[in-house]
Amino acid sequence: MTLTPRFQMESDSLEAGAASSSAGAEKLFEGAAEPESSEDSSLPSRMIGAHDGARRAEEHRDPGTFCPRKPHSIEDAGLTTELVEQLICKFLLTRGGSTGRRIAQQTGLPFRSLEPLLVRLKNEMVLAYKRTAAAGDYEYILTDVGIDRGRRYMAACTYAESAPVPLEDYVASVAAQSLTRHRISIEHLQEAFFDLLIDKRLLDRLGPAINAGKGMFLYGPPGNGKTSIAERVIRCFGSDIWIPRTIIVDSHLFRVFDPIIHQESGEPESSIMGEALEDARWVRVRRPSVVVGGELTMDQLEMRHDPQSNMSEAPIQLKSNCGALLIDDFGRQRMPVDELLNRWIVPLEKRYDFQKLPSGKKIQVPFDQLVIFATNLQPRDLVDEAFLRRIPYKIEVADPSPDQFRRIFELVGPSLGLPVTPEAIDGLIERHYAGVGRPMRACHPRDLMLQVRSYCMYHKLPVEMTEESLQFAVENYFAVL
C-alpha cells in the first residue's frame, strides 16, 4: 500500500495559481512519503517512524503554509469503512436521527465520500430513511439491527466524534509546521516583546536560541520576568498551525486537540453547503504555548488511557508540538528532577519520543517544540553535564538596573491610573533599596503601585505616590522579604 498524504501547501504567491500549487504540493509530499531505503521496505507505509517522516519532510521543504487537503474518499482519508461505520452508528445511537450531511459534519468527512457507505448500510438494513432532506439528502435512523450494532460499538469504545487522522499524516504535518522552518530576526523579537521592557543584550541572546528551536534555560532571581519572557517567545512565530482532533494508530485512538491548551483561530471557516473546504478532521489553532509548573508529574508525560471510554489522551509534550513548552519553577516539581531528565534526555536530542499504546506496543511520535526551563536556581546545581549539553542555551535574566527600574515604573504607572514622578521613584530607591541593600526586581514596580492604589482608594485619597502611601506599600510588601 502506497501512502499518499492528504494535505497541500498554500503558496504565498497568488500568481502561481491554485491548480499548479496543489499539483506541486502533492508531488512534494508524495516524494516525502515514498520509502527510500531497504530498511523501510519491510514496513507498511503507514508505520513509517516519526524521525523518518520528519527527515523526509525536511528534505522537501516548501516556503508555503501547511493546509490539510479534503480527502476524496474514505480510503483517501487513510481510514477503513469499518471504522467510519462505527462512528456513524454510535453517532446515530446517541442522536436518534440525522441527515447525511449532518453525519458528514460530525465525522469531518466529505458528504460525497460517505454516500456509498450510507447506501450500503441502508441496503444491509442497518440504516433506514426517516424522511427526505434538502439537496438529494435523507434523514437516517438506525434500524433494530443498527441499534444492536451501535450498542456493541459503543461498548467497545465510546468515541463518536470526528474521524481520526492516521499517525503518519500527523508526523508529516509536524515536520511541515516545525518552528525550525522559521527564521527569527530582531524585528520579530521586538514585536513579540513590545509590552515588556527587555534589555537589547537579552534579546540578542534569546534570538539565536529561538532560531535553533532547541531547549533553553532561563535562570535568575525570582520576579524578573522569566515566565513572562517564555510565554511571549511563541509570538515570534506568528502563524497558526493545523492539528488533528484525534489520531489513530493500530486501531487505538488518542486525542490531540485540547481546548484548554489549544486556542482555535478566530478566522471564519469557508464552506460550501456547510462543508469545510479543508479537511474538517483538523483544527486551525494558534501555535501552542503550554505552561506546567510544580504540579508536573510523570503520568502527564505519558499517554493516558481511559478504560471506560477506551480512549487515550496525548501527553503534554505532544500537545505542544510546533509550539513552546515551558517548565516553570524547574527543580520544584513533585517528580524528582532526575526522573524528568532521564525521561527527556533522548527526546531533547533526537527530537522524537516513544509512547506506549494500551496494547503495550511502543510508537514513535514527534518531539518538536521549543522546551524552556525557567528556574530561580543555578542550572549546574540542578542537572549534570550530560543534560546541560542537550540544553545548549543558558540565558540569565538578571536584576534590572536603576535606570531600567525607573523605566518600568514609568511604563506601568499609566496603565494603573497612577501618576509617576521622578522624585518619588528616586526617594523609593534611595531609602528602600540602596539604603538597605535590597536588590531590585522587575516585578516590584507593579506590585508596589498596586498596593499604593489600594491604599489611596481605601482612604479616599487622590491616587498618587506619596511618601505615606509608598511607606505603607513597602512595609506590607517587604514584611517577610
Alpha carbons 125 and 123: distance in angstroms, whole number = 5
- Mean pLDDT to the nearest integer, 410-436: 92
What residues contact 95, with CB distance under 8 A and at least 6 apart?
none
Three-state DSSP at 184 gives coil
Alpha carbons 32 and 15: distance in angstroms, whole number = 25
Q: Where in the chain is the domain with CATH 1.10.8?
A: 402-477
The percentage of residues in the chain with a pLDDT greater than 90, rounded to a whole number, is: 61
> With bands split at pLDDT 50, 70 and 90, how would you rate the model's confidence at 51?
very low
Backbone dihedral angles phi then psi of residue 193, each to the nearest 5 degrees = -105, 30
What pLDDT shows up at residue 277? 77
Instruction: Give per-residue pLDDT as tens, 295-323.
Output: 888 999 999 999 999 999 999 999 999 99
> With bands split at pLDDT 50, 70 and 90, how would you rate the model's confidence at 371?
very high
Q: Where in the chain is the domain with CATH 3.40.50.300?
A: 210-396
CATH domain 402-477 topology: Helicase, Ruva Protein; domain 3 (1.10.8)
Three-state DSSP at 223 gives coil
Bridge partners of 216, per DSSP, are: 372, 393
Q: Where in the chain is the domain with CATH 1.10.10.10?
A: 81-156
192-222 b/e (C-beta count within 10 Å ≥ 16 → b): bbeeebbeeebeebbbebbbebbbbbbbbee
Instruction: Give per-residue pLDDT as tens, 70-88.
Output: 999 999 999 999 999 999 9
What residues contact 302, with CB distance under 8 A and at least 6 apart?
315, 355, 356
Alpha carbons 245 and 257: distance in angstroms, whole number = 5
> Does 210-396 carry CATH code 3.30.70.370?
no
- Mean pLDDT to the nearest integer, 257-263: 94
Mean pLDDT of the chain, nearest integer: 84
Backbone dihedral angles phi then psi of residue 249, each to the nearest 5 degrees = -150, 125
Q: In angstroms, what is the C-alpha Rg of the chain?
A: 27
Q: Look at domain 81-156 and name its CATH class.
A: mainly alpha
> With bands split at pLDDT 50, 70 and 90, how would you rate the model's confidence at 21?
very low
Backbone dihedral angles phi then psi of residue 286, each to the nearest 5 degrees = -70, 150
What pLDDT shows up at residue 320? 95
> Does 337 have pLDDT greater than 90?
no
- Mean pLDDT to the nearest integer, 228-255: 91
